[in-house]
Structure 1
């Protein structure tokens, strides 16, 4: 799969100010509204669209980046890359550390997915340009961010007593470069146990060519028996598999 907008490929050699300026350009180029030609109601079904799960594992100064493409429960293709890391982890600039390796993995794909779920944020980001937004715009691919913790923004209601399938909107606040009160994503409860073993929600936000409500719908449609939606859960497992093989 080709990178549609090479100008947005992350460059870890530029200054922080240049990175943040690029993120603002990416957010301005992103479309946080539905813009795709598949039936979102069929996500996760055998006849549904191709859904890519994206994740990474790390080995010394290298990133193992993987993409697992599903149609329903069937794995259609898996691809990976092993790329050098040349940028530290800095909150808000994750895509400049991990984005280049992720694009390397997409370029190894022969399949063109209809949408992608990323282990990271999309619009729930200080400059509305998390990893899912950056990669979605670079690939011009409908994209969703699925984060395990909330980077910024404000849930409109408590999120610690949600039942499986429930969601709570996350609005922009003073830490987000968007009008206060803009819905930038949702806390989504994919699975829940009894009161003594509560599971926290995941934080779902649109990356590109999808609105916040549809992004949450897609993640719920992709849930299985675990907290993570199946595409990113399988990507996580595949990343560990490749890491063990590379490290052997």
Structure 2
């Protein structure tokens, strides 16, 4: 799968100002409406679900690290059936800088996607989408590059603020994340994602929520609906959970 918008490829050789300028362009190019042709309910992992037509192909994307190299793993599934797995290992050219993750991890991710033979309908990233200082997190940046419906699923909140306290919430609970002064080119109070409680224990320890946001060609409410269909009883969406495990396996082989 090749980039559709190569002019937006994240180049780690850019200066910080140039990286941020590119992110503004990415955010301008992003579509945060539901611009896809599959039924959001058909991404369900439930093998007994009564669904019309073929389920969409969902690609989970995650990363592991080998010293100064990044391991990008992609697992593509239709329902609960894995269709394809690919990975790439490339050098990491810059350190982690909050808000510029796509420039650090984008190279390995793009290299892995270029090995993919199938054509996913939805990309799910371990990282933010619109919940980002310039509304151009990893899921938005790579979603625009490949012009694919994409969703970001992060374990911590980068910016914005939830409408409700997030501690100890029951499974299935969600609350909007609203833009604040830390989010550029957004009106204060605009919904940019959700805190979503994908799983919860009845007793201690308490599981923290995920922070779900649209990347590209997906709206805020639909992004969380899609993730809720993909978790299958786990905290993380199954495609990214499997990509995480696959990345660890690849890392172990390289070591």
Pairwise TM-score range, normalised by the shorter structure: over 0.9
Distance (Å, rounded) in 2 between the aligned partners of 1:237 and 1:32:
30
Structure 2 residue matching 1:67: 3-state secondary structure: strand
What is the rounded CA distance, in whole Å, between the counterparts of 2:166 and 2:175 in structure 1?
A: 7
Q: In the alignment, which residue of structure 1 is the partner of 2:81?
A: 74
SS at 1:96's partner residue?
A: helix
**RMSD of equivalent CA atoms:** 0.9
> Which runs of 5 or more residues in structure 2 are unaligned?
48-53
TM superposition shift of 1:225: 2.8
Name the structure 1 match of 2:9: 9
Q: Aligned residue for 1:43?
A: 43
2:90 matched to which residue of 1? 83
Count residues in correspondence.
247
3-state SS of 1:113 partner: coil
| Counterpart for residue 220 of structure 2 | 212
Distance 2:188 2:91 in 1: 38
Which of 45, 63, 67 is the matching residue for 2:70? 63
Flag structure 1 segments of 5+ consecutive residues without an equivalent.
none
TM-score (norm 2): 0.95
Matched with 1:117 is: 124
The alpha-carbon deviation at position 60 of structure 1 amounts to 1.1
Stretches (4+) displaced over 6 A:
none
Taking the TM superposition and a 5 Å limit, the aligned residue runs for 1:74-153 are 74-153=81-160
- For 1:19 and 1:128, locate their aligned partners in 2 and report how far apart those are by CA, in whole Å: 13
1:47-81 residue CA offsets vs partner (Å, 9 max, x unmatched): 41100000010001111101100100000000100
Asked whether the 8 Å contact 1:52–1:113 carries over to 2, the reply is yes
- 3-state secondary structure, aligned to 1:197: coil
Whether the 8 Å contact between 1:44 and 1:71 is mirrored in structure 2 is no
Show CA shifts across 1:7-33 (max 9, x none): 111111111000000000000000011
Q: What SS does the aligned partner of 2:176 have?
A: strand
Name the SS for the 1:240 alignment partner. Answer: helix
